Amino acid sequence: MSKKSIIAKLLSEEDISVVQKKTKTAAFNVGTRELILPLWKEEMSKDISDLFICHEIGHALYTSVDLLTKMQERKIDKSYVNIIEDARIEKMVQDKYLGTRSCFTKGYKELISKDFFGVNNKDLNELNLADRINLHFKGMDNVPFSSVEQTWVDKVANVKTEAEVLDIAQGLMDFTNENEESQNQEQEQQSQSSAGSDEGEGDNQESGSDDNSDDSSDDTQSQGSNDDGDEGQEETQSSSSEESDDDKNAEEKKTEVNSGFQGGKGYKHTATTDLSFDKSLDDAMDKDAKDRVYATIPKVNDKVIIDYKSVLEQCKTHYDKIKNENGISKFITKTKSDMTKFQMDSKKVVSYMVKEFEMKKSADLYKRASVSKTGTLNMGALHTYQFNEDLFAKVTTLPGATNHGLVMFFDWSGSMQYNLTQTLKQLYNLVWFCDRVKIPYKVYAFSDAYIRPSSYAGIDSESVKVTQNQITSLT
């Protein structure tokens, strides 16, 4: 992901990151500036991931939030807008970065082979125009178009702005709706089952209004014969009519929210290849996978680093409480004795480490040594001038100066209580080794807690309070 993030930053010309999360499809989060790739059951191939990245880069560069708002205001089918907007931004990305063309070609070729658009074993002539336009711009070969339909293909190919996307989408919906003979009945039924038949809702509303008018005329005729009965009947019918209208409005609003105005208002067709693609992405998603959480490492505040002198002073104050008859801390005396013994026992180990290091260092120096001629004559070889041209002295140059150092981090948390002694011994061996071979080093101890707030012993409380994972310097 780090490599893909670098590419995404370069292509999008901003500091975005590529992450994998438990989501149905690739997306770009305009708030966090994250390019999100879905977690699939099988590992996503390089070609498909590159395609998704380049596609979402196009949205990051060229698609605004206003497009969705205006689409909803104009009640335009979401699938139509998706198809045309995808064609627009992908063309712009490929024009801006020529190298991305192979990413789109290879990626869509693999998706088509996996039947992500749901067109395998189907006659392309029976698909509606929006579906064929979608497949054409996704790289499918030999998609059929009539001469009239070709004008719509050309319009989509030349779309430049989001306003044109919405206008073409609405015009394409009108054209599809007015040319029923070019639409396959099976596809039409699938569209209605996927998005809900808005035409059916219109028919119901119209029939409802006819029924109401008939009922009102019947009420008028019967009103003269029985005023009381007709009055009660009229109130019942009026209430029923109001409930029916409320139910219809609520259902219509629910359908629009759930489907993103799929099918539009008064339209019966939608782009089933776009719906099939979304379904294929949903099927490919690993629903059992755990979502991944990404975070950036914050810069360390210098105030959380406590100087070793302060640590030693506080330790001395604490361990000086128990003293022997001479007034000397028992703990410090015992610790010094143990350290002296351990240091004597470790001399062999440290000496062996130094020996191995010097051997490898000499071998590395020999490998990197360079021999060069000087401008001084080699007087010992001067007498061979008649048959030897190499009369100048040579010098061997060895890499000098130390070009490395060590930074060691020591876990000083409470969970280390049973391993602290042995870990400290390893640490001291490394420190003594560095002293012997003159390698610069620093050692830091880190813990999830420093000392109790009531025992800061003169340390600025503002600099250390409520800090987690504080780092304590030991050197």
Alpha-carbon distance 370 to 118, whole Å? Answer: 67
Residues 249 and 211 in one domain: yes
Biggest CA–CA distance in the chain, Å, is 148
Beta carbons within 8 Å of 85's beta carbon, 6+ residues apart: 63, 67, 162, 165
Question: Lowest-confidence range among 225-234, 367-376, 454-463?
Answer: 225-234
Residues 387-422: tens digit of each pLDDT: 776 767 776 666 665 678 899 999 988 888 889 889
pLDDT given at position 269: 67
Residues 10 and 70 in one domain: yes
pLDDT band at 305 (very low <50, low <70, confident <90, very high): confident
Q: How far is the first Cα of the chain from the last one, in angstroms, to the nearest whole number?
A: 37
Residues 49 and 154 in one domain: yes
Answer whether residue 464 shows pLDDT above 80. Answer: no
Answer whether residue 278 shows pLDDT above 70. Answer: yes
pLDDT given at position 12: 83
- φ/ψ of residue 324, rounded to 5: -85, -170
Residues 26 and 156 in one domain: yes
pLDDT given at position 22: 83
Question: 327 vs 341, which has greater pLDDT?
Answer: 341
Look-up: residue for tokens 């009229």? 234
pLDDT band at 165 (very low <50, low <70, confident <90, very high): very high
Answer whether residue 109 shows pLDDT above 90. Answer: yes
Residues 92 and 214 in one domain: no
Determine, yes or no, domain membership for 367: no
Determine, yes or no, domain membership for 448: yes
Residue 416: its H or E element: none
CA nearest to 127, candidates 110, 148, 143: 143
Alpha-carbon distance 11 to 53, whole Å? Answer: 10
pLDDT given at position 98: 92
Q: Which domain holds residue 248?
A: 203-255
Question: Lowest-confidence range among 27-36, 208-217, 370-379?
Answer: 208-217
Question: 6 vs 163, which has greater pLDDT?
Answer: 163
Determine, yes or no, domain membership for 390: no
Residues 339-378: tens digit of each pLDDT: 999 999 999 999 999 999 988 888 877 676 666 666 677 7
Contacts 24+ apart (CB under 8 A), 303-306: 303/460, 303/463, 303/464, 303/467, 304/463, 304/464, 304/467, 304/470, 304/471, 305/444, 305/470, 305/471, 305/472, 305/473, 306/450, 306/459, 306/464, 306/470, 306/471, 306/472, 306/473
pLDDT given at position 320: 78
Structure tokens at 277: 């693609």
Determine, yes or no, domain membership for 422: yes
Residues 8 and 63 in one domain: yes
Answer whether residue 18 shows pLDDT above 70. Answer: yes
Question: 212 vs 443, which has greater pLDDT?
Answer: 443
Answer whether residue 9 shows pLDDT above 70. Answer: yes
Query: C-alpha distances in angstroms, 184 versus 131, 180, 199, 362?
Result: 11, 8, 17, 81
Answer whether residue 142 shows pLDDT above 80. Answer: yes
Beta carbons within 8 Å of 137's beta carbon, 6+ residues apart: 83, 86, 87, 90, 156, 157
Determine, yes or no, domain membership for 394: no
Alpha helix stretches (DSSP H) within 98-226: 101-113, 129-137, 147-157, 162-178, 185-195, 198-223
Alpha-carbon distance 39 to 32, whole Å? Answer: 19
Alpha-carbon distance 234 to 217, whole Å? Answer: 11
pLDDT given at position 111: 92
pLDDT band at 88 (very low <50, low <70, confident <90, very high): very high
Determine, yes or no, domain membership for 353: no
Answer whether residue 44 shows pLDDT above 50. Answer: yes
Beta carbons within 8 Å of 446's beta carbon, 6+ residues apart: 409, 410, 411, 412, 413, 469, 470, 471, 472
Determine, yes or no, domain membership for 374: no
pLDDT given at position 389: 67
What's the pTM value of the predicted model, to 2 decimals?
0.51
Beta carbons within 8 Å of 350's beta carbon, 6+ residues apart: 429, 432, 433, 436
Structure tokens at 446: 């880190």
Residues 77 and 210 in one domain: no
Q: Say how many domains are in the chain.
A: 3
* Of 216, 240, 255, the domain-final residue: 255
Residues 179-205: tens digit of each pLDDT: 866 555 444 444 444 444 333 333 333
- What is the pLDDT averaged over residues 279-296? 84
Report the relative pairing of strands 305-306 and 392-397 from DSSP bridges. Answer: unpaired
Mean confidence (pLDDT) of the chain: 75
Query: C-alpha distances in angstroms, 386 versus 156, 379, 382, 383, 394?
Result: 85, 14, 9, 8, 19
- What is the pLDDT averaged over residues 438-463? 67
Residues 86 and 230 in one domain: no
Question: 315 vs 84, which has greater pLDDT?
Answer: 84
Structure tokens at 332: 């410090």
Determine, yes or no, domain membership for 30: yes
Residue pair 271/128 in contact by the 8 Å Cβ criterion? yes
Residues 176 and 207 in one domain: no
Question: 212 vs 137, which has greater pLDDT?
Answer: 137
- What is the pLDDT averaged over residues 154-178? 92
Residues 59 and 114 in one domain: yes
Answer whether residue 270 shows pLDDT above 80. Answer: no
Residues 157 and 219 in one domain: no
Residues 47 and 155 in one domain: yes
| Interior angle at CA 164, CA 162 and CA 169, nearest 5 | 100
